[in-house]
Amino acid sequence: ADYFWDLFEKTTLPQLPALRKSVNYNDAHEHNLLVSGSPEKPEINGVIDFGDALYCETINELAIASAYAGMYLPDPLNAIADVVRGYHSQFTIEEKELSVLYSLISARLMLTVANAAWNKYHEPENEYLQVSEKPAWDLLKKWKKIHPEFAHYRFREVCGFKPCNKEKYFQQWLSNNHQKLIPVIESSGHKVMSLDLSVGSLVLGNNSHFNDISKFCRCIDRILEDQDASMAIGGYGERRPFYTTDAYQMERNDGASWRTVHLGVDLWARAGTDIFASLPGIVFSIQDNTGDCNYGPTIILQHEPEPGLIFYALYGHLSADSLDNVRPGQRVSAGEKIAEIGRPPINGNWPPHLHFQIILDMLGMSGDYPGVAYPDEANTWLSICPSSYSFFGIPVPGQNNDAHFLRDQRNRLLGKNLSISYENPLHIVRGYQQHLYDWQGRRYLDTVNNVAHVGHEHPEVVKVAQQQMGVLNTNTRYLHKEIILFAEELLETLPDPLSAVFFVNSGSEANELALRMVEAYTGKKEMIALESGYHGNTNRCIEVSSYKFDGKGGKGAPEITEVVPMPDRYRGLHRSEDSGARYAEYVAQAINNFKNKGRQPGGFICESILSCGGQIVLPAGYLSN
């Protein structure tokens, strides 16, 4: 409370006279809302309790609502940012109002706990008067861990302003002076390649290439060797897959999240490569940030190239000796050697490279600073830490990963036979084991795909597929031993009398061929199929797919198809132990239905596990009956 009171007195009170004033409701919280009766799409249609209405600073209205919106959540700042965004969309907030919002939120929380203490003494029997005390204290503790300026930058971002108000000044200076900068690493005489280490990077390849430091080092060396390069640069704003394991998972308001957005520029070169100060400055801090995937030895310089413009340059993954040659407060000259690239494990256990990051606001930190950010906070962090490519003198092209752009291009270029899932489609760029990863590195447990039978991108499967494709990839009209070996291995898993394999390219082709074989053998096209079954996108497959002909745009079962109930023991017609036999009776009824119409069924088709029907395992005895 002392911390927030000092902040309020020193930074907020002096600004209040310049702020807009109005009559405020001043009590927006969940206990005062009237909500429509629809649980599916509830809407706030009124408020109660106008006892706190007051003529005061307009921004207080938002501060009070925000204080309650941040309660009970692991990430109060982003919850409050959503409220600020919505408020601004209806009533424009001024920049000077945003600068005091963090402090006003804490002021409201202090009033809440103070009133609760007073009421606890004077009206101990009234439990409602204590309802907000604990969540308010909990939020105050979380709020104190958030730097006021970072909250300010987040609020500016969601209102459409440039998040860090220092960035414009820095970019103007950089535009006028970038040609005068001395490169942080001397690259003349070296071939420098642009290195893509994003989540979907094809040169980075399989997760097994970077899950182990020795393999990661070999991976980087191989990439450089393939391009005949001795250095590589990249990484600013890149969404990377290195922090997407359980060890780096954080539970936030919308579930699990990972810090995947890289805030600096990486230059990959041999250990021992000299590193220079790009312009005059002083050593702000030195620190060995130990541990895997950390910075290792780190130097932060402070620069003031002109009065009023102060920024910082972080040098990470250095050699241990680098910290012996500098001390905090030491002045350095432009072009002066300050460090060397380190080697693993001292450098944070990374392949040798320099992490270089420009920082416009240290946010009260020293020695260490975030080098990666959560995707939903990326724009704020990238404003605080603008691109530092100019300090290397090496231009690097950007990439367009905008999901809206990709969706528009997909709609324009691709046919309607390829559907897309979800109201907000996922931009998936990587798979590994049981997970899929979107372009921002968010990990999804894959319970949908029916292709990756041994997990996504199994290293052994990838290896043999790449080996074979590097030698021969053609059709089956020639003799080759692999197709024979595959057929033999497959048949060993099947019971007699199954003794021949029909190889095709897809499930649709497999079922189409099976239906043609039924017709060739029996002379009948008539089939019995399961409710909600889906067997492929050919005409014959659709004729036996209830999921298609009974779904949106379908025309119902054709004359040649009889549909029987799905044998679902959980939600279906029969749920007893003998449900397999009871569901099988419907197949007998379907046969009779055909006979009554003067037809004979050629066959019966169903999935071994019902997929579109809901991942349903057939009950015991169903197929045999």
CA 422 to chain centre: 15
Which domain CATH number covers 98? 3.90.1200.10
Omega within 30 of 0 (cis) for the link into 495: no
Q: For residues 194 and 140, state if they share a domain.
A: no
Res. 526 pLDDT band, cuts 50 70 90: very high
Is residue 401 scored above 70 in pLDDT? no
Q: For residues 153 and 191, state if they share a domain.
A: no
Please report the pLDDT score of residue 453 as a whole number: 85
Q: Which of 161, 182, 202 is the last residue of a domain?
A: 161
On whether residue 64 sits in a domain, the answer given is: yes
On whether residue 300 sits in a domain, the answer given is: yes
Mean pLDDT of the region 465-494: 94
Res. 421 pLDDT band, cuts 50 70 90: confident
Distance CA 83, CA 75 (A): 13
Please report the pLDDT score of residue 7 as a whole number: 95
On whether residue 192 sits in a domain, the answer given is: yes
Q: For residues 269 and 376, state if they share a domain.
A: yes
Is residue 442 scored above 80 in pLDDT? yes
Range in 107-111, 180-184, 204-208, 309-313 with the lowest mean pLDDT? 204-208
State the residue range of the domain holding 528. Answer: 507-617
CB 64 within 8 A of CB 28: yes
On whether residue 482 sits in a domain, the answer given is: no
On whether residue 430 sits in a domain, the answer given is: no
Highest mean pLDDT among 399-403, 559-563, 612-616: 559-563
**Tokens of residue 604, six digits:** 């019966």
Q: Output phi, psi for 90, to 5 deg.
A: -105, -30
Q: For residues 156 and 237, state if they share a domain.
A: no
Q: For residues 136 and 173, state if they share a domain.
A: no
Which domain CATH number covers 516? 3.40.640.10
Q: For residues 137 and 284, state if they share a domain.
A: no
Res. 447 pLDDT band, cuts 50 70 90: confident
Length of the chain: 625
Q: For residues 188 and 81, state if they share a domain.
A: no
Res. 331 pLDDT band, cuts 50 70 90: very high
Mean pLDDT of the region 607-625: 92
Is pLDDT larger for residue 395 or for residue 496?
Answer: 496
**Burial (0-12, 13-18, 19+ Cβ within 10 Å), 480:** exposed
On whether residue 9 sits in a domain, the answer given is: yes
Please report the pLDDT score of residue 120 as a whole number: 83
CA 417 to chain centre: 28
On whether residue 536 sits in a domain, the answer given is: yes
Q: Output phi, psi for 223, to 5 deg.
A: -60, -45
Res. 490 pLDDT band, cuts 50 70 90: very high
Angle of CA points 209, 434, 618, to nearest 5°: 150
Which domain CATH number covers 291? 2.70.70.10
- pLDDT tens profile 251-284: 899 888 999 999 999 999 999 999 999 999 999 9
DSSP letter (8 states) at residue 347: T
Highest mean pLDDT among 172-186, 416-430, 449-463: 172-186
Mean pLDDT of the region 401-415: 82
- Secondary structure (DSSP) of 162-229: -SSTTHHHHHHHHHHHGGGPPPSS--TTS-EEE---STT-TTT-SGGGTSSHHHHHHHHHHHHHHTT-
CB 318 within 8 A of CB 340: yes
Pairing mode, strands 561-564 and 527-530: parallel
Is residue 160 scored above 80 in pLDDT? yes
Q: For residues 139 and 180, state if they share a domain.
A: no
Q: For residues 558 and 602, state if they share a domain.
A: yes
Distance CA 174, CA 168 (A): 10
Q: Quote the pTM value.
A: 0.82
Q: For residues 79 and 96, state if they share a domain.
A: yes
Residue 463 DSSP SS3: helix
The alpha carbon dihedral of 586, 588, 590, 592 has a sign of: negative
Distance CA 21, CA 56 (A): 5
Helix axes 76-90, 59-69, angle to 10 degrees: 140
Is residue 105 scored above 80 in pLDDT? yes
Classify each residue of 489-508 as buried b or exposed e, where b means 16 or more C-beta atoms within 10 Å of its C-beta: eeeeeeeeeeeeeeeeeebb
Q: For residues 67 and 99, state if they share a domain.
A: yes
Q: Which of 142, 161, 180 is the last residue of a domain?
A: 161
- Secondary structure (DSSP) of 6-69: HHIIIIIGGGGGGS-EEEE----SGGGEEE-S-SSS--EEEE---TT-EEEETHHHHHHHHHHH
Percent share of the chain, pLDDT over 90: 81
Average pLDDT, the chain: 93
**Tokens of residue 159, six digits:** 């209102």
Distance CA 525, CA 561 (A): 9
Residue showing tokens 């070996």: 485
How many structural domains compose the chain? 3
Q: Which of 136, 161, 186 is the last residue of a domain?
A: 161
Q: For residues 38 and 124, state if they share a domain.
A: yes
On whether residue 613 sits in a domain, the answer given is: yes
Res. 606 pLDDT band, cuts 50 70 90: very high
Percent share of the chain, pLDDT over 70: 99
**Tokens of residue 464, six digits:** 């043999």
